[in-house]
A and B are shown apart, each in its own frame.
Chain A
Amino acid sequence: MIEVKDLHKAFGEVKAVDGVTFSARDGEITGLLGPNGAGKTTTLRMLYTLMKPDSGQVLVDGIDAAVDPLAVRRRLGVLPDARGLYKRLTARENIEYFARLHGIETRLMHQRRDKLVDALEMRDILDRRTEGFSQGQRVKTAIARALVHDPRNVILDEPTNGLDVMATRGLRAFMRNLKAEGRCVLFSSHIMQEVAMLCDRIVVIAAGRVVADETPDALRAQTGEANLEDAFVKLIGSEEGLAA
């Protein structure tokens, strides 16, 4: 369960996030939808305590991120915008490094790793150095690395960015699976169809503000548009940055 209350963050004159409030519930997939530069990544960065909000509150499973950031990070699995694998390490070593940083003991680590490797179908690349990995292989490794501590809450920043059709489909199935396991899944995207297909709840952000926080059906009803893409354009008030 992730709760965000009235977050603000400015970089100099630019108000990147200007009063964002929403909740992402357990057993649901919540989509953070918005055009490029709407403040999605900044919002997520405040969630996983990389940045401090100027004002507002972040609660993860009821823990205040400002009070106990380490406890919050322990409950989060994060795929940041920057995937940043270690090129000179193999996929296995990348995953195990993060597992050790979480203080997971070896036997449990192997168990979790194997489960993720099977779920993400990445057994064949496990012992290759990540240098020269395809975009899809990189995302798989980064996700396995982010989830090896079995977190209740999963944050994915534009997870399907740069993936081909097959990899995207695989990833969607994986996210549905996370939901089925009762986790709270929060992901950001600027691709309409994807959000419509996956999400139980859509939070639309434009210019640092939440302009809608509804189920897909309610969103269509609210805007009076049968097509979600039209509904989206109507909400953010322009067609800027909508290219899928």
Chain B
Amino acid sequence: MNSALTVFWKEVRENLRDKRTVFSALVYGPLFGPIMFVVLMNVVVSKQMSHAEGPLKVPVIGAQYAPNLIEALKQQGLVPEPPLADPDKAVRDRDTDVVLRIPADYAKAWAKGEPAQVEVIYDASQMGSSTPRERLEGMLRNYDRQQGALRLLARGLSPAIAAPLVIGKRDQSTPQSRAGMMLSILPYFFVLAIYIGGMYLAIDLTAGERERQSLEPLFANPVARWRILCGKLGAIGAFSLASLVLTAVAFTIAGYFLPTAKLGMAFDLGAAFIGKAILLELPLIALFAVLETLVAAFAKSYREAQTYLSLLMIVPILPSIVMSVMPVKAAHWMYAVPLLGQQIGVSDLLRGSPVHAGDIGLALVCGFAAAVVIGIVTAFVYRSERLAISA
């Protein structure tokens, strides 16, 4: 194994001198996720907070027909705004989230004791419109119930007659599990860090070396090609691992900048979590190293390899997408599927649910087995005559 080690050290040393590789593996990869995550969370949370608590500004059309209703809504935090000429268009164009319209015959129906109609105009397809709409509807329902109860009392009846059912809500989520939901995107950043961490190395060590014509002299040495491949894979894996560890550390630090208090959530990004998460991700380091090298070995040039590997970056996203579109119940067999197992495992760890040693073991064994299989294919490709010939 001495020659593989020689290759390993040379590749590590050479690539530590390459600014682009170092930047993408050790700066961009590890920092991109946590920074984006913190910014996103803070923006989302502060927006939701302002929607949920601040005064609700709603343009009101026909306010003059229902002064009592408007007064009651004002007491609940509504700030009526001047009417709009075209409320439908305003809502569609996102000029406002929701508009309240009181028809001219409101007062007549109210006076007769008939159901009086008010209209809430909104666009359900607009993100962020649901919170103000729900708040407005809640205010209207409050007024509705209150006036209904008053009418019953006036006729000598108990308001309880009109409320045969009371719904009690018991949310079983814990602060940690709610945080886990918010953090379900985090496993993806881990996977991405591994992928990006090794990518430029994988390209450089195979497609790059061929393009610079140094593969031919290298193969003229009395070293079996699989040993050279082992050294190169080791160097790719080392950079991936460094990228992963830095990402994990960056997330721990990022944890302090998350608006957890505002959300009433708690999550554990401590050493125990990081240790287990890294253990779980280890097979992916091997898997991506062989996969990226295999792809780079097929590419005719550095740029071609870069294109292929950028396209291949979609693969680690797949489990995240599948899980968010089809929220399936986690089963033990899923740990046997590389990427899927890591997605589920890290999500569970974040939510504070225990992950069994058996499941981690299964993920490790299956992940490394897949890496070995692809590794053998890569070694086979590495033996081909074509690989070394640059011109």
Give A48 to B219 CA distance when docked, in angstroms: 9
B125 interface hit (Cβ, 8 Å): no
CB-based contact B213/A84 at 8 Å? yes
B170 interface hit (Cβ, 8 Å): no
Q: A78's closest neighbor in chain B, by CB? A: B220
B13 to chain A, nearest CB (A): 8
Binds B, one of A32-40, A96-104, A208-216, A231-239: A96-104
CB-based contact A76/B220 at 8 Å? yes
A69 to chain B, nearest CB (A): 8
Interface residues of B in 101-148 (CB under 8 A from A): none
CB-based contact A84/B217 at 8 Å? yes
Number of residues of chain B lying within 8 A (CB) of chain A: 29
CB-based contact B213/A50 at 8 Å? no
CB-based contact A52/B385 at 8 Å? yes
B324 interface hit (Cβ, 8 Å): no
A190 interface hit (Cβ, 8 Å): no
CB-based contact A85/B214 at 8 Å? yes
B85 interface hit (Cβ, 8 Å): no
Which chain A residues lie closer than 8 Å to B305 at the CB level?
none
A242 interface hit (Cβ, 8 Å): no
Which chain A residues lie closer than 8 Å to B390 at the CB level?
82, 84
CB-based contact A84/B215 at 8 Å? yes
Which chain B residues lie closer than 8 Å to A86 at the CB level?
10, 14, 214
Number of residues of chain A lying within 8 A (CB) of chain B: 32
B209 to chain A, nearest CB (A): 8
B224 interface hit (Cβ, 8 Å): yes
Total inter-chain residue pairs, C-beta < 8 Å: 80
Mostly, the B contact residues are: helix
Which chain A residues lie closer than 8 Å to B13 at the CB level?
89, 93
B46 interface hit (Cβ, 8 Å): no
A145 interface hit (Cβ, 8 Å): yes
B337 to chain A, nearest CB (A): 39
CB-based contact B220/A84 at 8 Å? no
CB-based contact A101/B214 at 8 Å? no
Q: A70's closest neighbor in chain B, by CB? A: B222
Among A89, A93, A146, contact of B217 (Cβ-Cβ < 8 Å): A146
Interface residues of A in 36-65 (CB under 8 A from B): 45, 48, 50-52
CB-based contact A101/B217 at 8 Å? no
B64 interface hit (Cβ, 8 Å): no
Which chain A residues lie closer than 8 Å to B6 at the CB level?
97, 100-101
CB-based contact B391/A88 at 8 Å? no
Interface residues of B in 1-39 (CB under 8 A from A): 2-3, 6-7, 10, 13-15, 17-18
Given A101-B221, A146-B217, A89 and B385 contact (CB-CB distance below 8 Å): no
Which chain A residues lie closer than 8 Å to B213 at the CB level?
82-84
Give A115 to B214 CA distance when docked, in angstroms: 24
Q: Which of A88, A93, A142 has the most CB of B within 10 A?
A: A88
Interface string of A194-229 (1 = CB under 8 A from B): 000000000000000000000000000000000000
A176 interface hit (Cβ, 8 Å): no
Which chain A residues lie closer than 8 Å to B391 at the CB level?
81-82
B83 to chain A, nearest CB (A): 69
Give A88 to B2 CA distance when docked, in angstroms: 23
CB-based contact B215/A88 at 8 Å? no
Among B214, B219, B223, B224, contact of A50 (Cβ-Cβ < 8 Å): B219
CB-based contact A88/B224 at 8 Å? no
Which chain B residues lie closer than 8 Å to A70 at the CB level?
222-224
Among A73, A82, A93, A146, contact of B222 (Cβ-Cβ < 8 Å): A73
CB-based contact B221/A88 at 8 Å? no
Interface residues of B in 201-222 (CB under 8 A from A): 209, 212-222
Given A70-B222, A88-B14, A80 and B385 contact (CB-CB distance below 8 Å): no
Given A50-B388, A88-B18, A97-B10, A102 and B217 contact (CB-CB distance below 8 Å): no
A residues neighboring B (CB under 8 Å): 45, 48, 50-52, 70-71, 73-74, 76, 78-89, 93, 97-98, 100-103, 142, 145-146
B residues neighboring A (CB under 8 Å): 2-3, 6-7, 10, 13-15, 17-18, 209, 212-224, 385, 388-391
